[in-house]
Amino acid sequence: MNARIFLIFTLVLLVAGCATTDSGDISEKGRAAVKVRPNVDPKVTIAYEMALVSMRAGNTSKAEKQFKKLASDYPQFSGPHNSLGIIYYRNGQIDEAKTAFENALKINPDSVVSLNYLGIISRNEGEFKRAQSFYEKALRADRDYAYAHLNYGILLELYMGKLAEALKHYKQYQELTKEEDKKVKGWIIDLERRVKK
């Protein structure tokens, strides 16, 4: 019986590894949200992966319940709060998203996923200095977090008029991502022309 359960969980993990989302938040790039530690009880890892499978499959209500249970049962981990924040953000539940990301930061002040999303939310609310602060904190926590570079670049270019600084962040984003983003490549070409003028 134990071997059978192990096989089922192994298959679940394989499916989880192959699943993708439309925006890539919970793919390899989004693993920063998880930060699964090697000394974590395998039950927690399996439960988290199963919640991610639900999320990737678009079953957000099931994923929400699973992440809420994980957050309740294992309050020492920020990952479930990050994932809840992403679900709420995608559903347009901005206040709930903010609360989830802030809860993640209480557990892990260096949660780059939460810092990045709070930067996006602040930018969308017109709080540009606050957004800047979140992006800078995210990059202090992890200089290689591509999405913070991308979103900081957008803030700097479109909302703060700091073109040369934005260009640096777009280039850094391109260097850190596995596949070249053609849209960002176009932004870089345009900004290089504008910066030279």
What pTM was estimated for this model as a whole?
Answer: 0.80
pLDDT at 37 > cutoff 90: no
Structure confidence at residue 8 as a pLDDT band (50, 70, 90): very low
* Cα atoms in the 13 Å half-sphere on the side-chain side of 116: 23
**Residue 9's pLDDT band (cuts 50, 70, 90):** very low
Q: Per residue in 85-142, pLDDT tens?
A: 999 999 999 999 999 999 999 999 999 999 999 999 999 999 999 999 999 999 999 9
Q: Under DSSP, is residue 35 helix (H, G, I), strand (E, B) or coil?
A: coil
HEC readout, 75-107: CCCCHHHHHHHHHHHHCCCHHHHHHHHHHHHHH
Q: What is the CATH number of domain 129-197?
A: 1.25.40.10
pLDDT at residue 43 is higher than 70? yes
DSSP 41: -
DSSP 166-193: HHHHHHHHHHHSSS--HHHHHHHHHHHH
* Cα distance from N-terminal residue to C-terminal residue, the chain: 71
Q: Where in the chain is the domain with CATH 1.25.40.10?
A: 1-108, 129-197
Paired tokens of 113: 């996923």
Q: Is the dihedral of CA 19, 25, 26, 32 positive or negative?
A: positive
User: What secondary structure letter does DSSP report for 23?
Assistant: S
CA atoms of 99 and 80, how far apart (whole Å):
13
Residues 20-32 have pLDDT tens digits of 223 333 333 334 3
Contact 121, 153 (CB under 8 A): no
CATH topology (fold) of 1-108: 1.25.40
The per-residue pLDDT for range 44-97, each reduced to its tens digit, is 999 999 999 999 999 999 999 999 999 999 999 999 999 999 999 999 999 999
The confidence score (pLDDT) of residue 178 equals: 86
